[in-house]
Chains A and B, each alone.
Chain A
Amino acid sequence: MEGIANYLDSLIGGVDLTFYSITIGGLLWGLLVLRPWHEEALYNSALLSKTVNLIHFGSKALVITQLSKIGLKIWLMAVTLGKSPFPAFFQTVQFQAGLARATCAFILAVFIRQALKSNPRSKQFWVLSTAIIVPLVISAAWLVHGASRLEDRGLLMTLTVTHQIAAATWVGGIFQILTLWGLKKRNAIAVEVWPLLLKRFSAVGIGSVVILLVTGTPLAWYYIRTFQGFIGAGYGNLLLVKIIMLGLALGFAWLNRQAVNAYFTSRSLYALTARVPYYIEAETLILLTILFTAASLASQPPAVDIPHLTASFEEVLNMFHPRVPRWESPTHEALIAGEAGRVAIVGQIPSEAATAWSDYNHNISGIFLATMSFFAMLSFSNRFHRWARFWPVGFMALGVFLFFRSDAESWPLGPIGFWESTFNNGEILQHRIATLLVFVLGLIEVRARLNNNSGFMPYMFPLLAAFGGMMLLAHSHVGFEAKTAFLIQVGHTMMGVFSLILACGRWLELKLDSPGKNVAGFISVFALFQIGVILMFYREPLY
């Protein structure tokens, strides 16, 4: 069970950051954007109760998540160390600060339920609720990795917590805007509320981004220091991914701001209702991915600590170098024969068969995806549309291929049982989930196209693609060769970014009108092609 415990332990970090953002960002939304004590006539009870309910939900979920984090940590230590972590665990900062944070979140949830829910127009209660988050934030400071550093702890903890609050303000605000849009769609709020709050949030959002950059830059400098650390280590690579995704999110934020400004000039609601909500939905996908990437980043050793284990710029570039894809796979017997030496700790012998096996898997997957993107492009033409639109059937075929090829040492090809390999090895567990995801992705999308994209089913494709991207961003190859693991990771993280672009593009293709619809669709297919190209040229370092 070590694999699944490890997997869940790392996953919960992103879930925790999401609920933290809904809570903190929601309160700051009320205090800085909504300001319900000023707008007596404009806001109705539906809007106020929805706003407070979302914050209350976030605070309750935060309590559960924080307690789950502690529980998972105990479980992980028990299965990894093979003994009870008690009583030593009670003495750790993790336990004490974690319990303090859960307690603060619980007090906040109770206060919101007892006071703010029944008095949502009370400035005093909004201020008090926001004041309660101060101890919550302070206790959280002891859980960030700056707290474990040997130098400059105070500075690092302060910068990290401020960075988290800025991120929470943006993400939590976006969740509130989505709630607001739900009301707007049902005409449950006054017409002028939607543009007014979008305009106000725009200023808060800019402030958040400025704080993110002001706190993030020194943190990046402290943990990375060199260009090679930025390019050639997992920590720097994930930070680069965060920066790319921040750029994407800012692009959508800019489009929203332009639409809001245009409204206040022309008073036309068209862009604000036909485009902005969908840009915000895409922005949300990106922001959630950033949160999960941030959680994944926390499990990486800072590049500054491992200068001897960082890859050079040339080595990283070589991972993307065009080359002839591997068409032939080594035999399963050759692969299994080399496994004992490859996984040995003492007397390790790198396995060329294992490397070739993995290259073949990746390269053939790349050919699958590149071919699918070709048919996806054809589907834009009226001449080929009728049959080419079923290009997602390729995902189902790819899922079957991966099922047999991903983990050759385990069932169905190898001697290790299906359940044993799945739950005891984090890497195999990820491969199994990814394989299932790919197959289901194809199945759902083919069914959606058979039903002429009616109902919610078509939207499952971009959602699953986004989650697949998140998996790729956090994909890890378990082992003790940090540099090799990073070189494997770097291609996966770039594919993760393109998966997210694919997801956002497809989402907007389904939601927008022309010409935005066509542009988004093309970007989506282009991203699929890019993933195919990365996979086609993939070469694993020998290890």
Chain B
Amino acid sequence: MNFFKPALLALALVASNSAFGHAVVTHNSLKLKPVPVNLASDVELSFNSKVELDLSEVFLVSAGDKMQTITATPGEKPGQVLLHLPALEPGEYAIKLKIFAADGHLSEDLLRFFVKQAK
């Protein structure tokens, strides 16, 4: 067992994390329903697992990586989340998610999107 004491000790110094946790967005409404200009709107996200919204955070990221917290509420189906976006001017944006999944993994995800004037 002499070999295992240092081995177990050293085990405690290695192994690591992954940037992508277990909860990922499998569907989002951004592609099907573009965000309108200067109008508050909702974005619907579907996750692959149950998420703990009380222990999660969602940010709207705008030009210059300015972040503002946005409200997220549970959707009708399990794993579904509704994000409530404020009125947005045309430009590039992103939704940054810090999601605590029911399996205990805290994962981060990013959804980039554009707000464009209707032609």
Contacts and interface: CB of A to CB of B under 8 A. Distances in A.
B89 interface: no
B35 interface: no
Contacts of B62: 346
A296 B98 contact: no
B19 to A, nearest CB: 4
Nearest to A434: B14
Interface residues of B, number: 55
Interface in B1-51: 1-4, 6-8, 10-24, 26, 48-50
A88 B54 CA distance: 6
A234 B3 CA distance: 32
A151 to B, nearest CB: 9
Nearest to B62: A346
A149 B49 contact: yes
Nearest to A470: B14
Contacts of A467: 10-11, 13-14
The secondary-structure label for the interface of chain A is helix
A473 B108 CA distance: 21
Contacts of B55: 77, 81, 85, 88-89, 92
Interface string A455-497: 0100110011001101101111111101001000000000000
A92 B3 CA distance: 39
A143 B8 contact: no
Contacts of A302: 22, 48
B66 to A, nearest CB: 8
A175 B106 CA distance: 32
B53 to A, nearest CB: 9
A11 B19 contact: no
Contact of A150 (B3, B21, B49): B49
Nearest to A81: B57
A143 B104 contact: yes
Interface string B65-109: 100000000000011000000000000111010101111111111
A148 B19 contact: no
A302 B4 CA distance: 33
A124 interface: no
B63 interface: yes
A80 B99 CA distance: 10
B11 A299 contact: no
Interface in A173-212: 175, 178-179, 182
B112 interface: yes
A540 B62 CA distance: 28
A325 interface: no
B20 A305 contact: no
Contacts of B63: 346-347
Contacts of A478: 19
A299 B10 CA distance: 22
B17 A7 contact: yes
B45 to A, nearest CB: 13
Interface in A227-257: 234
Contacts of B17: 6-7, 9-11, 299, 426, 474, 476
Interface string A275-310: 000000100110010001001101111100110000
A480 B109 contact: yes
Contacts of B96: 345
Interface string A338-373: 000000111100000000000000000000000000
Contacts of B56: 81
Contact of B105 (A145, A146, A175): A145
A147 B106 contact: no
B14 A92 contact: no
Most buried by B among A77, A281, A295: A77
A138 interface: no
Given A77-B100, A149-B49, A298-B105, A346 B112 contact: yes
8 contacts: A73-B104, A89-B55, A98-B104, A296-B16, A298-B103, A301-B20, A464-B10, A479-B19
Given A147-B102, A148-B49, 13 more contacts: A11-B15, A143-B104, A145-B101, A148-B103, A288-B11, A301-B21, A306-B26, A346-B61, A429-B16, A460-B6, A463-B10, A467-B13, A474-B17
Interface of A: 6-7, 9-11, 13-15, 18, 73, 76-77, 80-81, 85, 88-89, 91-94, 98, 143-150, 175, 178-179, 182, 234, 281, 284-285, 288, 292, 295-296, 298-302, 305-306, 344-347, 426, 429-430, 433, 456, 459-460, 463-464, 467-468, 470-471, 473-480, 482, 485
Interface of B: 1-4, 6-8, 10-24, 26, 48-50, 52, 54-57, 61-65, 78-79, 92-94, 96, 98, 100-110, 112
